[in-house]
Chain A
Amino acid sequence: SQTIHQWPATLVQPVGSPLSLECTVEGTSNPNLYWYRQAAGRGLQLLFYSVGIGQISSEVPQNLSASRPQDRQFILSSKKLLLSDSGFYLCAWRTGMGNTIYFGEGSWLTVV
């Protein structure tokens, strides 16, 4: 069966520090991968999606970036965090367009 793992689960980072969140999917090949952010009490905002290795599409311009160095690995990064980057970050995958999206456990980021 397919599983998705995301880490770290929680982190507190100072403003201006770098960020790296990692996500891996097991049990499937060539998944579509997604990074979402959910601010406190808000809906899900799509940040990036990827349909293959090295293929990244950005939905929202900001100081975040994403990379997909391997088929089942998706990384969210920032060189310098802002206070507004605080939130709940969710990695997700689906086997193809139109199919169900499944979420990882999420990462709580607090920028102080």
Chain B
Amino acid sequence: QKEVEQNSGPLSVPEGAIASLNCTYSDRGSQSFFWYRQYSGKSPELIMFIYSNGDKEDGRFTAQLNKASQYVSLLIRDSQPSDSATYLCAVNNAGNMLTFGGGTRLMVKP
């Protein structure tokens, strides 16, 4: 079974700190990887995607991909209380279907 695993949290970080969110996946044929943010009671919204090994930066967000280790992460620098949400990792597998992890709840404390 093609799985995407995330620690459910909550991950608690102080305001201004770096939040590190991790995700592992089982399908070695996966080609593209996505991070979504979901506020309570709302639909998920795309933060960023990554296709190649290495880092991809967008503002305060950095996605990191290591296909050999089947590992993708999201770093949030200078975390703000408004970043408090559930973060969903999604993986597009070799069958071209998007599989979501269960999400990590992030709490940024002022």
* Contact residues of A between 94 and 112, Cβ < 8 Å to B: 94, 97-98, 100-106, 108
A43 CB-CB contact with B under 8 Å = yes
Q: Taking A43-B88, A46-B97 as contacts, is the C-beta distance between A90 and B32 under 8 angstroms?
A: no
B17 CB-CB contact with A under 8 Å = no
Contact A104 B43 (CB under 8 A): yes
Max chain A C-beta neighbours (<10 A), residue from B44, B46, B97 = B44
B49 CB-CB contact with A under 8 Å = yes
A11 CB-CB contact with B under 8 Å = no
B60 CB-CB contact with A under 8 Å = no
CB contact between B90 and one of A42, A49, A97, A101 (< 8 Å): that residue: A101
Given A43-B100, A98-B31, A106-B42, 13 extra CB contacts under 8 A:
A43-B88, A43-B102, A43-B103, A44-B44, A46-B97, A90-B43, A98-B92, A100-B46, A101-B46, A101-B90, A103-B43, A103-B44, A104-B43
Contact A44 B88 (CB under 8 A): yes
* Chain B nearest CB, measured from A21 CB (Å): 13
Contact A101 B98 (CB under 8 A): yes
B45 CB-CB contact with A under 8 Å = yes
